[in-house]
Amino acid sequence: MDAKSIKQERSLVLLKPDAVARGLVGAIIGRFERAGLKIVAMKIIHPTPEKAAGHYSGPDEWIRGMGKKTLDSFEQFGMDVNEVLGTEDPFEIGSMVLSWLVDYVSSGPVVAMVLEGVHAITAVRRMIGFTIPSRAEPGTIRGDYTIDSNTISSLEKRSTKNLVHASGNVEEAAQEIAYWFSPDEIVSYKRTDEDVMF
C-alpha cells in the first residue's frame, strides 16, 4: 500500500433523521471538513423501509452484537431484559433492534455522503463516538449533541437516536458506498489545504 491509497480511503456516512430534524447537518459536516476529510459525494433522501433494510442487512454476528449491547445496558442498570423484551437471546433482541433501526432510518430525510481522507474510516468513527450516545465521550459528535441510551430506547421499543452512521471497515465502506451511490455520483478534486495538511 502506498501513501496515495491511504489518502484515498473512503467512508460512507449517513446523517440520520434526528440529525436532519434538529438542524445539525452543517455542524456535523463542519467537524469532518475541519479535520481534513473531503466530501466526494452527498445527497439528501428520504429512504423507504426497503432501502433502510437493505443498508442494515448485516451478518448474524452483527445482529447478535446489537442484542449483546442491549443486554449489557440492561445488566448495567439492574433491569430484567426478559420482562421488558420477552427474551434474553441476543439474536432475538438484535432482530428487534434491527426492525427499530429500519423504522428510524426510514422515518425522515437522511443526508448520505462519502468522505475521503487519510484513514477516513478510523477518523470518522473516532469523531462520531460510541454507538450508544450516553456512553460517547465529550468532544465526539454523539457525546456533544445527544444523550439517548439503548436502555431507554428499548423500554420505548424504538431505535437509539444516535445521529450518525459510519462505515466500520474498508469492506463495509465499499459495500455501503456502492449501495447508496452510483460511481458517477462520486467526484474527485483537490482541496486547497491538502498540501499543507499532508
- Over residues 75-94, the pLDDT tens digits come to 988 999 999 999 999 999 99
Q: Is residue 17 part of a domain?
A: yes
Single out the residue of 193, 110, 103, 115 nearest to residue 156, CA to CA. 103
pLDDT at 4: 59
Number of domains in the chain: 1
C-alpha cell at 87: 427474551
Q: Is residue 198 part of a domain?
A: no
Q: Is residue 36 part of a domain?
A: yes
CATH number at residue 59: 3.30.70.141
3-state secondary structure of 39: strand
**Catalytic residue selected from 46, 55, 119, 165:** 165
pLDDT at 2: 63
Q: Is residue 197 part of a domain?
A: no
Q: Is residue 51 part of a domain?
A: yes
Q: Is residue 175 part of a domain?
A: yes
Q: Where are the alpha helices (DSSP H) in 22-165?
A: 25-34, 49-55, 60-76, 81-85, 90-105, 120-128, 141-145, 150-155
Q: Is residue 128 part of a domain?
A: yes
The answer to whether residue 165 is catalytic is: yes
pLDDT at 130: 94
The ranges of the chain with pLDDT < 70 are 1-7
Q: Tell me the residue range of the domain where 181 lies.
A: 3-189
Q: Is residue 196 part of a domain?
A: no
Provide the CA 104 distance to its chain's centre, in angstroms: 12
3-state SS string for 139-176: CCHHHHHCCCCHHHHHHCCCCCCCCEEECCCHHHHHHH
